[in-house]
Amino acid sequence: MALSDKKPPQHIAIIMDGNGRWAKKRGLPRTAGHAAGAESFRRIANYCRTLGVKYLTVYAFSTENWKRSEEEVSGIMRLLGKYLKEALADMEKNKVCFRFFGDLSRLSPELQKLCAAAVDESKDYDVQVNFCLNYGGRDEIVRAGRAFAADVADGKYKPEDLTEELLAKYLYSADVPDPELIIRPSGEMRTSNFLLWQSAYSEYVFLNVLWPDFGPADLDEAIEEYHRRNRRFGGT
């Protein structure tokens, strides 16, 4: 069956990996790879909208990425700021609703303001992009645990009230369905602390293309692979 005959997954998540290698191959600084990665993100976000994907979650900066050089970290932050400013100026055209998963308090006050404005000004649009920024899957679960413990201490819940559904409400992804498909380009086959809770039943597709080179045809390939898999959720 042709791809267009099948419904795409409603939620696709992507680990945007391989920017550094893409730049190295060309003798360029790593930041040039991230700039090309940001362009690739725009292309794929537009394509997801065309396909009718409802949620796109991308790993833009992990809790571990602070270990990179000051120059690289500030380069990525600059790119994010530039992207958000442009998105804010073009909200009407893009019609994308922005959300951020992660602890934004470590970002610069200017970037925090841009994130808040992007969320605020886009909340009525229905295609949703979740930027994982200063995000770690373990960190997200620890924070959820702390928040639940605080509610228990306040008398709102008893420890035995905790269920999978209730814990999920304390995650950044509280009202977002789990991704059916998680894509990691660049040939690496790790989950790297991405959406640990939400990926319990996701299909992983690993592609051998660096993120800046990733285009609509690669997304089509990943979706086709997803459709070929037989999702049983632990049943038979």
Residues that bind ligand FPP (CB under 6 A): 16-21, 34, 37-38, 41, 60, 65, 76, 79-80, 83
Name the closest residue to ligand FPP (Cβ): 20
Q: How far is the CB of 156 from ligand FPP (least distance, A)?
A: 37
Look up residue 60 and give its amino acid: A
154 is catalytic: no
Question: What is the C-alpha separation between 27 and 174, in angstroms, rounded?
Answer: 42
Closer Cβ to ligand FPP, 19 or 134, answer by number: 19
Nearer to ligand FPP, 112 or 152 (CB): 112
Distance in Å, CB of 76 to ligand FPP, minimum: 5
Shorter beta-carbon distance to ligand FPP: residue 8 or 33: 33
Nearest CA-CA partner of 53 in 138, 126, 2: 126
For residues 202 and 25, what is the distance between their CA atoms, to the nearest angstrom? 32
Task: Choose the catalytic residue: 5, 19, 46, 65.
Answer: 65
C-alpha 80: how far from chain center:
13
Is 94 considered catalytic here? Answer: no
Q: Return d(Cα 13, Cα 154) in angstroms, integer.
A: 35
Query: Please, what is the minimum distance in Å from the beta carbon of residue 217 to ligand FPP?
Result: 19
| DSSP category for residue 63 | T
Per residue in 28-54, is it b (16+ CB within 10 Å) or e — as a string?
A: eebbbbbbbbbebbeebbebbbebebb
Q: Alpha helices, DSSP H only, in the chain?
A: 19-25, 30-51, 70-89, 91-94, 109-122, 137-153, 164-169, 216-228
CB of 116 vs ligand FPP, minimal distance in Å = 17
Q: How far apart are CA 218 and CA 183, in angstroms?
A: 10
Q: Which is nearer to ligand FPP, 56 or 181 (CB)?
A: 56
Nearer to ligand FPP, 65 or 199 (CB): 65
Active-site positions read 17, 65
